[in-house]
Amino acid sequence: MFLLYLATWFIVALTPGPAVMCSMAQATRYGFRSSLAGILGIQAGNLLFFVFIALGLGTLLATATTAFTILRFVGAIYLFYLGLRIIVSTFRRSPSPTPQPTVALPPHRSLFLQGLLIQLTNPKALLFVSALLPQFIEAHRSVPLQLLILVSTTIAVDLIVLSSYALLAQRGFRSFRTSRVSAWLERLFGVALVFLGFRLLLSRK
């Protein structure tokens, strides 16, 4: 069962979504090391998801249409905000054939909170985990121990996958840093976040 969960979560983690786009956008704007703060924020969100599920809040959200709708709107608005901010910032820079100056790095706490909010304001992620998790819990074994193993596996896989995405994004961005392509790459990530916001806004349970 564990190997099946491991394989399943690797597939889930590899699927592009808000967390992947956020990690890649942070890596291209602020560097790989800074993006790790955002990735840790996403993992804090995953940890809270497991706590919510243990407390039964995942089931409550699944049955509470109003709560789901509110959280869905908040998540979509936040994705719009992040995506549009990235897009607008690329147009504020003056075009120059010389290498662009390094973007001022925000505090790691800010990037951590950004990753945390990206994850927590995605109700479909919580509902997916709450639907997937019970299939890998065996009633005749220690439930707390199984939850500990599964949450550790989830966070470890996510850290590996998101860090790999972030590293690839930074290296690709660095190759085009002195050209106009770098700005378009950032805009692409911004557009992707806006698109994911629209998809979340239009989604249903």
What does the domain layout of the chain look like in residue ranges? Answer: 2-10+17-202
Asked if 16 and 161 count as a contact pair (C-beta separation under 8 A), the reply is: no
* pTM, two decimal places: 0.81
Report percent pLDDT > 70 for the chain.
Answer: 86
One-letter amino acid identity for 185?
L
Query: Residues of 7-39 as b/e, b for ≥16 C-beta within 10 angstroms?
Result: eebeebbeeebbbbbbbbbbbbbbbbebbbbbb
Asked if 110 and 34 count as a contact pair (C-beta separation under 8 A), the reply is: no
- The string of pLDDT tens digits covering residues 44-90 is 999 998 888 878 776 666 667 777 788 788 888 988 988 898 888 87
Average pLDDT, the chain: 83
Q: Supply angle C-alpha 153, 124, 111, rounded to 5.
A: 65
Question: Is the model's pLDDT at 23 over the cut of 50?
Answer: yes
List the one residue out of 25, 165, 166 whose CA is nearest residue 85: 25
Q: What pLDDT was estimated at residue 35?
A: 94
Phi, psi of 124 (to 5 degrees): -65, -30
List the one residue out of 25, 5, 7, 6 whose CA is nearest residue 165: 25
